[in-house]
Amino acid sequence: MKNKKVLIMCTGNSCRSIIGEALVNSLDNIEAFSCGVAPSGKVNPHAKKVLEMHGMWDDKYYSKHLDEVINIDFDLVVTVCSHANETCPVFPKSAKVIHVGFEDPDGKEFEAFIDTYKEIEEILLSEVKKGLI
């Protein structure tokens, strides 16, 4: 049973936050969600492809607005872009909020998504673990 809930939030919820959600879901005892403050409404095909390459894609991942998850009692909220960090709302349950920014690979070649995946894996997972202590 997963007992900690983590939200990964960015602007469009099409690349970085979706990759972050999948990676954080691979951790023990943590359930991850993602959202956007201005969601694009779609998962970037390159983000989906890089997750499929790593066996981490799940059809439950989709681009959604913050309103869909605002009432979940998160233990940790992580913003992964400056816009989301600057506009991060106050959640009904007081959640710890941290910012771990990553460059947006949207509009770039597939290799940029591979690099983003590796960067999120190397940096975000340890920051999430520290943030939940």
Annotated catalytic sites, by residue?
A: 10, 81, 88
Query: CA of 83: how far to CAs of 64, 105, 125, in Å?
Result: 16, 15, 21
88: phi > 0 → left, psi -120 to 50 → alpha, else beta; which? beta
CB of 10 closer than 8 Å to CB of 81? yes
Task: Detail the DSSP E strand segments found in 51-126.
Answer: 76-79, 96-99
Q: What b/e readout covers 28-55, taking b as 16+ CB neighbours within 10 angstroms?
A: eebbbbbbbbebeeebbebbbebbeeee
CB of 12 closer than 8 Å to CB of 63? yes
